[in-house]
Chain A
Amino acid sequence: MACEQYIQPDTLKELVTGLAKMTSDSVILAGGTDLIIKLRSRHMNPDCMLSLCRVPELKSISESGGYLRIGAMETHDNIANNTLVRKECKALAMACSHVGSQQVRNKGTIGGSLGNASVAGDMLPVLVLFHGLVEILDSAGKTRKVDAQEFTLGIGRTILQPQEVIMAVWLPLQSHRESCFIKLGGRREVTIAEISLAFSWERSGQHFHKIEGVLGAVDTKPIYLQEVDEILEDRKVGKYEMDLLADSLSKRIRAIRENRKRQPRLRIQECEKVYKERAVKGIVYDALEIMMRKTDKKSKNI
Protein backbone atom coordinates (compact mmCIF):
# COMPACT_ATOMS: atom_id res chain seq x y z
CA MET A 1 0.00 0.00 0.00
CA ALA A 2 1.28 3.44 -0.91
CA CYS A 3 -0.63 6.56 -1.77
CA GLU A 4 0.63 9.33 -4.02
CA GLN A 5 -0.64 12.10 -1.80
CA TYR A 6 -1.56 12.16 1.88
CA ILE A 7 -3.62 15.15 2.99
CA GLN A 8 -4.36 15.77 6.65
CA PRO A 9 -6.31 19.01 7.04
CA ASP A 10 -6.32 20.87 10.36
CA THR A 11 -9.41 22.96 9.65
CA LEU A 12 -12.77 22.62 7.98
CA LYS A 13 -11.65 25.02 5.25
CA GLU A 14 -8.63 22.86 4.48
CA LEU A 15 -10.88 19.82 4.47
CA VAL A 16 -13.08 21.37 1.78
CA THR A 17 -9.99 22.19 -0.30
CA GLY A 18 -8.77 18.64 0.19
CA LEU A 19 -12.10 17.19 -0.93
CA ALA A 20 -11.72 18.98 -4.26
CA LYS A 21 -8.62 16.89 -4.98
CA MET A 22 -10.39 13.58 -4.49
CA THR A 23 -11.05 11.27 -7.42
CA SER A 24 -12.77 7.91 -7.67
CA ASP A 25 -9.38 6.31 -6.84
CA SER A 26 -8.99 8.33 -3.63
CA VAL A 27 -9.81 7.21 -0.13
CA ILE A 28 -10.90 8.91 3.07
CA LEU A 29 -9.15 7.85 6.27
CA ALA A 30 -11.26 8.08 9.43
CA GLY A 31 -10.05 5.72 12.18
CA GLY A 32 -8.42 3.32 9.75
CA THR A 33 -9.58 0.09 11.38
CA ASP A 34 -11.35 -1.06 8.19
CA LEU A 35 -9.58 1.00 5.54
CA ILE A 36 -5.99 -0.03 6.28
CA ILE A 37 -6.88 -3.73 6.18
CA LYS A 38 -8.73 -3.21 2.89
CA LEU A 39 -5.88 -1.28 1.25
CA ARG A 40 -3.28 -3.83 2.31
CA SER A 41 -5.21 -6.96 1.47
CA ARG A 42 -6.23 -5.69 -1.95
CA HIS A 43 -2.82 -4.13 -2.68
CA MET A 44 -4.53 -0.84 -3.45
CA ASN A 45 -2.51 2.29 -4.14
CA PRO A 46 -4.93 5.22 -3.93
CA ASP A 47 -3.94 8.45 -5.68
CA CYS A 48 -4.93 10.45 -2.64
CA MET A 49 -5.68 9.77 1.00
CA LEU A 50 -7.60 12.36 2.97
CA SER A 51 -7.14 11.92 6.71
CA LEU A 52 -9.81 13.41 8.95
CA CYS A 53 -8.26 12.99 12.38
CA ARG A 54 -7.32 16.65 12.92
CA VAL A 55 -10.52 18.48 11.95
CA PRO A 56 -12.20 19.66 15.19
CA GLU A 57 -15.66 20.14 13.59
CA LEU A 58 -15.88 16.39 13.03
CA LYS A 59 -15.54 15.67 16.74
CA SER A 60 -18.19 16.54 19.30
CA ILE A 61 -21.46 15.24 20.62
CA SER A 62 -24.06 17.90 21.26
CA GLU A 63 -27.77 18.70 21.37
CA SER A 64 -29.01 20.94 18.60
CA GLY A 65 -32.57 21.82 17.61
CA GLY A 66 -34.21 18.69 18.95
CA TYR A 67 -31.47 16.46 17.60
CA LEU A 68 -28.43 14.75 19.01
CA ARG A 69 -25.54 15.60 16.70
CA ILE A 70 -22.60 13.23 16.70
CA GLY A 71 -19.50 14.25 14.75
CA ALA A 72 -18.39 11.69 12.18
CA MET A 73 -14.98 11.29 13.82
CA GLU A 74 -16.36 10.43 17.24
CA THR A 75 -15.03 7.03 18.26
CA HIS A 76 -17.19 4.10 19.29
CA ASP A 77 -15.67 4.29 22.76
CA ASN A 78 -16.53 7.97 23.17
CA ILE A 79 -20.08 7.43 21.97
CA ALA A 80 -20.59 4.39 24.20
CA ASN A 81 -19.51 6.37 27.26
CA ASN A 82 -21.24 9.65 26.45
CA THR A 83 -23.90 10.55 29.04
CA LEU A 84 -26.18 12.21 26.51
CA VAL A 85 -26.08 9.21 24.15
CA ARG A 86 -26.67 6.77 27.00
CA LYS A 87 -29.65 8.76 28.16
CA GLU A 88 -31.25 9.58 24.82
CA CYS A 89 -30.18 6.81 22.43
CA LYS A 90 -29.29 3.83 24.54
CA ALA A 91 -29.36 1.45 21.57
CA LEU A 92 -26.51 3.41 20.01
CA ALA A 93 -24.44 3.27 23.20
CA MET A 94 -25.11 -0.48 23.44
CA ALA A 95 -24.08 -1.01 19.82
CA CYS A 96 -20.93 1.10 20.17
CA SER A 97 -19.85 -0.65 23.36
CA HIS A 98 -19.63 -3.99 21.53
CA VAL A 99 -17.92 -3.00 18.30
CA GLY A 100 -14.69 -5.00 17.93
CA SER A 101 -12.14 -4.87 20.72
CA GLN A 102 -11.25 -1.96 23.01
CA GLN A 103 -8.48 -1.00 20.57
CA VAL A 104 -10.96 -0.88 17.68
CA ARG A 105 -13.50 1.11 19.70
CA ASN A 106 -10.79 3.61 20.64
CA LYS A 107 -9.96 4.26 17.02
CA GLY A 108 -12.95 3.27 14.90
CA THR A 109 -15.44 6.06 14.25
CA ILE A 110 -19.17 6.24 13.55
CA GLY A 111 -18.53 8.03 10.25
CA GLY A 112 -15.94 5.48 9.19
CA SER A 113 -18.28 2.63 10.02
CA LEU A 114 -21.07 4.16 7.93
CA GLY A 115 -18.75 4.93 5.03
CA ASN A 116 -17.35 1.42 5.05
CA ALA A 117 -20.93 0.15 4.66
CA SER A 118 -20.33 -3.39 5.82
CA VAL A 119 -23.61 -5.28 5.88
CA ALA A 120 -22.60 -6.52 9.32
CA GLY A 121 -21.99 -2.98 10.57
CA ASP A 122 -23.64 -2.10 13.87
CA MET A 123 -24.13 1.64 13.32
CA LEU A 124 -26.58 1.72 10.42
CA PRO A 125 -29.31 -0.48 11.98
CA VAL A 126 -29.36 1.83 14.99
CA LEU A 127 -29.48 4.94 12.83
CA VAL A 128 -32.37 3.48 10.86
CA LEU A 129 -34.14 2.63 14.12
CA PHE A 130 -33.92 6.25 15.29
CA HIS A 131 -34.81 7.65 11.84
CA GLY A 132 -31.44 9.40 11.90
CA LEU A 133 -29.89 11.62 9.28
CA VAL A 134 -26.42 11.55 7.78
CA GLU A 135 -24.91 14.98 7.15
CA ILE A 136 -22.65 15.09 4.10
CA LEU A 137 -20.11 17.80 3.20
CA ASP A 138 -18.98 18.37 -0.39
CA SER A 139 -16.02 20.07 -2.04
CA ALA A 140 -18.01 23.29 -2.45
CA GLY A 141 -18.32 23.50 1.33
CA LYS A 142 -22.06 22.76 1.20
CA THR A 143 -23.77 20.25 3.42
CA ARG A 144 -26.85 18.13 2.87
CA LYS A 145 -28.67 15.66 5.06
CA VAL A 146 -29.98 12.29 3.92
CA ASP A 147 -32.10 9.69 5.62
CA ALA A 148 -30.02 6.92 7.17
CA GLN A 149 -32.20 4.39 5.32
CA GLU A 150 -31.15 5.90 1.97
CA PHE A 151 -27.47 6.26 2.78
CA THR A 152 -26.38 2.73 1.93
CA LEU A 153 -26.87 1.29 -1.53
CA GLY A 154 -25.69 -2.23 -0.84
CA ILE A 155 -22.60 -4.20 0.15
CA GLY A 156 -19.82 -1.64 0.67
CA ARG A 157 -21.61 0.99 -1.41
CA THR A 158 -23.06 4.31 -0.24
CA ILE A 159 -24.48 7.39 -1.87
CA LEU A 160 -21.24 9.29 -1.08
CA GLN A 161 -19.59 10.80 -4.15
CA PRO A 162 -15.77 10.89 -4.42
CA GLN A 163 -15.67 14.53 -3.31
CA GLU A 164 -17.99 14.09 -0.35
CA VAL A 165 -17.44 13.17 3.26
CA ILE A 166 -19.69 12.41 6.24
CA MET A 167 -19.74 15.36 8.66
CA ALA A 168 -22.03 14.08 11.37
CA VAL A 169 -25.06 11.98 12.16
CA TRP A 170 -28.23 13.50 13.57
CA LEU A 171 -30.61 11.57 15.78
CA PRO A 172 -33.98 13.05 16.81
CA LEU A 173 -34.27 13.38 20.57
CA GLN A 174 -37.16 11.36 21.96
CA SER A 175 -36.72 11.31 25.69
CA HIS A 176 -39.98 9.46 26.31
CA ARG A 177 -38.75 6.47 24.30
CA GLU A 178 -36.47 3.64 25.38
CA SER A 179 -34.29 1.53 23.12
CA CYS A 180 -31.91 -1.41 23.02
CA PHE A 181 -29.49 -3.10 20.63
CA ILE A 182 -28.26 -6.66 20.68
CA LYS A 183 -26.17 -8.73 18.33
CA LEU A 184 -25.38 -12.37 17.80
CA GLY A 185 -21.87 -13.27 16.72
CA GLY A 186 -19.44 -16.14 16.88
CA ARG A 187 -18.14 -15.12 20.30
CA ARG A 188 -19.05 -12.83 23.16
CA GLU A 189 -16.46 -10.08 22.69
CA VAL A 190 -14.60 -8.90 19.59
CA THR A 191 -17.30 -10.28 17.38
CA ILE A 192 -18.90 -9.35 14.10
CA ALA A 193 -22.70 -9.42 13.96
CA GLU A 194 -24.28 -12.42 12.30
CA ILE A 195 -27.65 -11.02 13.26
CA SER A 196 -28.30 -7.71 14.97
CA LEU A 197 -31.57 -6.45 16.37
CA ALA A 198 -32.50 -2.98 17.60
CA PHE A 199 -35.78 -1.96 19.25
CA SER A 200 -37.25 1.28 20.50
CA TRP A 201 -40.51 1.67 22.40
CA GLU A 202 -42.68 3.61 24.78
CA ARG A 203 -43.59 2.00 28.05
CA SER A 204 -46.67 2.22 30.19
CA GLY A 205 -46.63 -0.19 33.09
CA GLN A 206 -45.91 -3.64 31.71
CA HIS A 207 -47.10 -2.80 28.24
CA PHE A 208 -45.23 -1.44 25.26
CA HIS A 209 -46.44 1.05 22.67
CA LYS A 210 -45.27 2.36 19.32
CA ILE A 211 -42.60 -0.29 19.09
CA GLU A 212 -40.11 -0.05 16.28
CA GLY A 213 -37.55 -2.66 15.29
CA VAL A 214 -34.68 -3.04 12.85
CA LEU A 215 -32.94 -6.25 11.84
CA GLY A 216 -29.33 -6.01 10.69
CA ALA A 217 -26.65 -8.20 9.10
CA VAL A 218 -29.09 -10.53 7.34
CA ASP A 219 -29.48 -8.62 4.07
CA THR A 220 -27.56 -5.98 2.13
CA LYS A 221 -29.37 -3.26 4.10
CA PRO A 222 -30.94 -3.09 7.56
CA ILE A 223 -34.60 -4.16 7.53
CA TYR A 224 -37.26 -2.04 9.21
CA LEU A 225 -39.64 -4.40 10.97
CA GLN A 226 -43.22 -3.29 10.56
CA GLU A 227 -44.55 -6.39 12.28
CA VAL A 228 -42.94 -5.67 15.66
CA ASP A 229 -45.57 -3.13 16.56
CA GLU A 230 -48.41 -5.32 15.28
CA ILE A 231 -47.27 -8.24 17.44
CA LEU A 232 -46.26 -6.42 20.61
CA GLU A 233 -48.41 -3.27 20.74
CA ASP A 234 -50.22 -2.90 24.04
CA ARG A 235 -49.55 -6.47 25.08
CA LYS A 236 -47.91 -7.96 28.10
CA VAL A 237 -45.10 -9.83 26.41
CA GLY A 238 -44.93 -13.54 27.15
CA LYS A 239 -43.66 -16.66 25.45
CA TYR A 240 -46.48 -16.57 22.89
CA GLU A 241 -45.53 -13.07 21.68
CA MET A 242 -41.83 -13.92 21.71
CA ASP A 243 -42.39 -16.97 19.52
CA LEU A 244 -44.70 -15.09 17.21
CA LEU A 245 -42.08 -12.43 16.60
CA ALA A 246 -39.26 -14.98 16.29
CA ASP A 247 -41.29 -16.92 13.69
CA SER A 248 -41.98 -13.81 11.73
CA LEU A 249 -38.31 -12.77 11.63
CA SER A 250 -37.27 -16.30 10.79
CA LYS A 251 -39.61 -16.26 7.79
CA ARG A 252 -38.13 -12.97 6.66
CA ILE A 253 -34.59 -14.34 6.79
CA ARG A 254 -35.68 -17.48 4.91
CA ALA A 255 -37.24 -15.35 2.20
CA ILE A 256 -33.98 -13.41 1.81
CA ARG A 257 -32.06 -16.67 1.38
CA GLU A 258 -34.54 -18.07 -1.10
CA ASN A 259 -34.55 -14.89 -3.17
CA ARG A 260 -30.77 -14.52 -3.24
CA LYS A 261 -29.52 -14.70 -6.80
CA ARG A 262 -25.80 -14.64 -6.03
CA GLN A 263 -24.44 -17.90 -4.69
CA PRO A 264 -22.45 -17.64 -1.44
CA ARG A 265 -18.73 -17.28 -2.08
CA LEU A 266 -17.83 -19.72 0.66
CA ARG A 267 -18.77 -23.36 0.47
CA ILE A 268 -21.26 -23.74 3.25
CA GLN A 269 -23.03 -26.76 4.67
CA GLU A 270 -26.79 -27.25 4.49
CA CYS A 271 -27.16 -26.58 8.20
CA GLU A 272 -25.22 -23.32 7.90
CA LYS A 273 -27.61 -22.10 5.24
CA VAL A 274 -30.48 -22.16 7.70
CA TYR A 275 -28.42 -21.06 10.71
CA LYS A 276 -29.63 -17.48 10.86
CA GLU A 277 -33.29 -18.27 10.45
CA ARG A 278 -33.04 -20.59 13.45
CA ALA A 279 -30.67 -18.50 15.56
CA VAL A 280 -32.88 -15.42 15.27
CA LYS A 281 -35.20 -16.92 17.88
CA GLY A 282 -32.49 -16.62 20.54
CA ILE A 283 -31.75 -13.02 19.77
CA VAL A 284 -35.48 -12.13 19.81
CA TYR A 285 -35.76 -13.73 23.25
CA ASP A 286 -32.70 -11.81 24.48
CA ALA A 287 -33.89 -8.48 23.10
CA LEU A 288 -37.38 -8.84 24.57
CA GLU A 289 -35.92 -9.78 27.92
CA ILE A 290 -33.93 -6.55 27.92
CA MET A 291 -37.11 -4.67 26.99
CA MET A 292 -39.06 -6.20 29.83
CA ARG A 293 -36.44 -5.26 32.40
CA LYS A 294 -37.69 -2.10 33.98
CA THR A 295 -34.67 -0.03 33.15
CA ASP A 296 -33.47 3.00 34.90
CA LYS A 297 -32.52 5.40 32.14
CA LYS A 298 -29.44 6.50 34.00
CA SER A 299 -28.33 2.91 34.54
CA LYS A 300 -24.63 2.45 33.92
CA ASN A 301 -24.88 -1.17 32.92
CA ILE A 302 -25.21 -1.76 29.23
Chain B
Amino acid sequence: MIIHFVLNGKQTTADVQADRRLLDFIREDLHLTGTKEGCGEGECGACTVVLNGKAIHSCLTLTGQLDGGELLTIEGLEQNGELDEIQKAFIKKSAIQCGFCTSGMVMSAKALLMENPHPSKEEIKKAISGNICRCAGYREIKEAIQLVAEKEEE
Protein backbone atom coordinates (compact mmCIF):
# COMPACT_ATOMS: atom_id res chain seq x y z
CA MET B 1 0.00 0.00 0.00
CA ILE B 2 1.29 3.44 -0.96
CA ILE B 3 0.87 6.00 1.78
CA HIS B 4 1.48 9.73 1.89
CA PHE B 5 2.30 11.38 5.18
CA VAL B 6 4.32 14.14 6.77
CA LEU B 7 7.32 12.84 8.68
CA ASN B 8 8.82 15.36 11.08
CA GLY B 9 7.76 18.24 8.85
CA LYS B 10 8.73 16.59 5.57
CA GLN B 11 6.20 15.33 3.01
CA THR B 12 6.91 11.62 2.51
CA THR B 13 5.58 8.82 0.33
CA ALA B 14 6.25 5.18 1.11
CA ASP B 15 5.21 1.74 -0.07
CA VAL B 16 4.35 -0.01 3.15
CA GLN B 17 2.91 -3.20 4.54
CA ALA B 18 -0.30 -1.68 5.93
CA ASP B 19 -0.87 -4.26 8.67
CA ARG B 20 2.56 -3.74 10.20
CA ARG B 21 2.82 -1.86 13.47
CA LEU B 22 3.71 1.81 13.10
CA LEU B 23 6.42 1.23 15.73
CA ASP B 24 8.17 -1.36 13.53
CA PHE B 25 7.83 0.86 10.48
CA ILE B 26 9.40 3.80 12.33
CA ARG B 27 12.27 1.81 13.78
CA GLU B 28 13.06 -0.69 11.05
CA ASP B 29 12.12 1.10 7.82
CA LEU B 30 12.57 4.75 8.69
CA HIS B 31 15.53 3.86 10.93
CA LEU B 32 14.32 6.29 13.57
CA THR B 33 15.24 4.29 16.64
CA GLY B 34 14.57 7.01 19.19
CA THR B 35 11.05 5.60 19.56
CA LYS B 36 11.26 2.61 21.92
CA GLU B 37 9.26 -0.53 22.40
CA GLY B 38 8.50 -1.29 26.02
CA CYS B 39 5.52 -3.49 26.71
CA GLY B 40 4.06 -3.61 23.20
CA GLU B 41 0.52 -3.43 24.55
CA GLY B 42 -0.17 0.20 25.32
CA GLU B 43 0.63 0.13 29.03
CA CYS B 44 4.06 1.76 29.29
CA GLY B 45 4.00 4.63 26.78
CA ALA B 46 7.65 4.17 25.68
CA CYS B 47 6.56 4.03 22.03
CA THR B 48 4.57 7.30 22.17
CA VAL B 49 4.72 9.45 19.04
CA VAL B 50 2.60 12.44 18.02
CA LEU B 51 0.18 11.76 15.16
CA ASN B 52 -1.96 14.65 13.93
CA GLY B 53 -1.12 16.62 17.04
CA LYS B 54 -2.11 13.87 19.48
CA ALA B 55 0.07 11.53 21.52
CA ILE B 56 -0.56 7.92 20.50
CA HIS B 57 1.00 4.50 21.02
CA SER B 58 2.91 3.51 17.89
CA CYS B 59 2.73 -0.11 19.06
CA LEU B 60 -1.09 0.00 18.82
CA THR B 61 -1.22 1.74 15.47
CA LEU B 62 -0.92 0.08 12.08
CA THR B 63 1.14 1.68 9.35
CA GLY B 64 -1.91 1.95 7.08
CA GLN B 65 -3.52 4.28 9.61
CA LEU B 66 -0.68 6.73 9.03
CA ASP B 67 -1.93 7.54 5.50
CA GLY B 68 -2.67 11.23 5.17
CA GLY B 69 -1.40 11.94 8.66
CA GLU B 70 1.28 14.08 10.20
CA LEU B 71 3.80 12.14 12.26
CA LEU B 72 6.19 13.66 14.75
CA THR B 73 8.81 11.47 16.39
CA ILE B 74 11.45 12.37 18.97
CA GLU B 75 13.92 12.94 16.10
CA GLY B 76 11.70 15.72 14.76
CA LEU B 77 11.95 17.91 17.86
CA GLU B 78 15.45 19.19 17.23
CA GLN B 79 15.41 22.23 14.95
CA ASN B 80 18.59 23.46 13.20
CA GLY B 81 20.83 21.63 15.61
CA GLU B 82 19.03 22.98 18.67
CA LEU B 83 17.11 20.77 21.04
CA ASP B 84 13.44 21.44 21.79
CA GLU B 85 12.59 23.34 24.96
CA ILE B 86 11.23 20.16 26.51
CA GLN B 87 14.43 18.24 25.81
CA LYS B 88 16.48 21.05 27.33
CA ALA B 89 14.24 21.10 30.39
CA PHE B 90 14.59 17.32 30.86
CA ILE B 91 18.37 17.73 30.86
CA LYS B 92 18.29 20.75 33.16
CA LYS B 93 16.05 19.01 35.70
CA SER B 94 17.90 15.67 35.44
CA ALA B 95 14.64 14.02 34.45
CA ILE B 96 16.52 11.19 32.77
CA GLN B 97 18.25 8.21 34.24
CA CYS B 98 18.33 5.13 32.02
CA GLY B 99 16.52 7.09 29.32
CA PHE B 100 14.32 4.31 27.99
CA CYS B 101 11.04 6.03 28.82
CA THR B 102 12.37 9.48 27.92
CA SER B 103 11.41 9.73 24.26
CA GLY B 104 7.86 8.58 25.00
CA MET B 105 7.65 10.89 28.00
CA VAL B 106 8.94 13.84 25.97
CA MET B 107 6.46 13.15 23.16
CA SER B 108 3.54 13.00 25.60
CA ALA B 109 4.70 16.30 27.04
CA LYS B 110 5.10 17.77 23.55
CA ALA B 111 1.55 16.80 22.59
CA LEU B 112 0.24 18.34 25.81
CA LEU B 113 2.11 21.62 25.29
CA MET B 114 1.11 21.81 21.63
CA GLU B 115 -2.54 21.71 22.67
CA ASN B 116 -2.25 23.53 25.95
CA PRO B 117 0.86 25.70 26.36
CA HIS B 118 0.17 26.43 30.02
CA PRO B 119 -1.00 23.21 31.64
CA SER B 120 -1.65 22.98 35.36
CA LYS B 121 0.17 20.46 37.57
CA GLU B 122 -2.89 18.21 37.41
CA GLU B 123 -3.03 18.42 33.64
CA ILE B 124 0.66 17.52 33.40
CA LYS B 125 0.13 14.54 35.70
CA LYS B 126 -2.81 13.32 33.66
CA ALA B 127 -1.00 13.75 30.33
CA ILE B 128 1.94 11.57 31.39
CA SER B 129 -0.06 9.05 33.43
CA GLY B 130 0.23 6.64 30.50
CA ASN B 131 4.03 6.84 30.53
CA ILE B 132 5.83 4.63 32.98
CA CYS B 133 9.28 5.48 34.32
CA ARG B 134 10.98 2.92 36.54
CA CYS B 135 14.10 4.78 37.58
CA ALA B 136 14.44 8.59 37.44
CA GLY B 137 11.11 9.19 39.06
CA TYR B 138 8.21 11.33 38.11
CA ARG B 139 9.01 14.36 40.24
CA GLU B 140 11.84 15.58 38.01
CA ILE B 141 9.87 14.77 34.89
CA LYS B 142 6.89 16.80 36.09
CA GLU B 143 9.21 19.65 37.07
CA ALA B 144 10.79 19.64 33.62
CA ILE B 145 7.42 19.93 31.88
CA GLN B 146 6.35 22.56 34.38
CA LEU B 147 9.49 24.54 33.58
CA VAL B 148 8.56 24.72 29.89
CA ALA B 149 4.94 25.54 30.72
CA GLU B 150 6.02 28.46 32.88
CA LYS B 151 8.72 29.62 30.49
CA GLU B 152 6.27 30.04 27.65
CA GLU B 153 4.09 32.10 29.94
CA GLU B 154 6.73 34.82 30.29
Contact = CB atoms under 8 A, between A and B. Distances in A.
Interface in A27-56: 29, 31-33, 36-37, 40-41, 49, 51, 53-54
A162 interface: no
Interface string A3-38: 100101000000000000000000001011100110
Interface string A212-228: 00000000000000000
Interface stretch (A96-104, A258-266, A287-295): A96-104
A2 interface: yes
B48 interface: yes
Contacts of B113: none
A109 to B, nearest CB: 12
A108 to B, nearest CB: 9
Nearest to A32: B60
Given A2-B19, A6-B1, A107-B57, A40 B126 contact: no
A100 B65 contact: no
Interface in B1-35: 1, 18-19, 21
A1 B24 CA distance: 13
B19 A3 contact: yes
Contact of A102 (B1, B21, B40, B130): B130
B130 A107 contact: no
A243 interface: no
Contacts of B1: 6, 8
A103 B40 contact: no
A101 B129 contact: yes
B64 A36 contact: no
A106 interface: yes
B19 A189 contact: no
A107 B45 CA distance: 13
Nearest to A51: B64
A256 interface: no
B56 A189 contact: no
Given A103-B42, A103-B130, A189-B126, A54 B60 contact: no
Contacts of A6: 1, 18-19, 62, 64
Which range contains the number of A residues in contact with the other chain?
20 to 34
A18 to B, nearest CB: 13
Contact of A103 (B21, B45, B67): B45
B55 interface: yes
A36 B60 contact: yes
Contact of B57 (A33, A41, A49): A33
B54 interface: yes
A107 B129 contact: no
Nearest to A106: B54
A171 B41 CA distance: 32
A156 to B, nearest CB: 17
B62 A104 contact: no
Interface in A173-215: 189-190
Contacts of A189: 125-126, 129-130
A37 B60 contact: yes
A77 interface: yes
Interface in A106-129: 106-107
Interface string A64-97: 0000000000000100000000000000000000
Contacts of A3: 19
Contacts of B56: 103, 106-107
Contact of B130 (A2, A37, A40, A100): A100
B76 interface: no
A28 to B, nearest CB: 13
Nearest to A98: B126
Given A6-B1, A33-B57, A103-B60, 19 more contacts: A8-B65, A32-B60, A33-B60, A36-B61, A51-B64, A101-B45, A101-B129, A102-B108, A102-B111, A102-B126, A103-B45, A103-B55, A103-B57, A103-B130, A106-B56, A106-B111, A107-B54, A107-B61, A189-B126
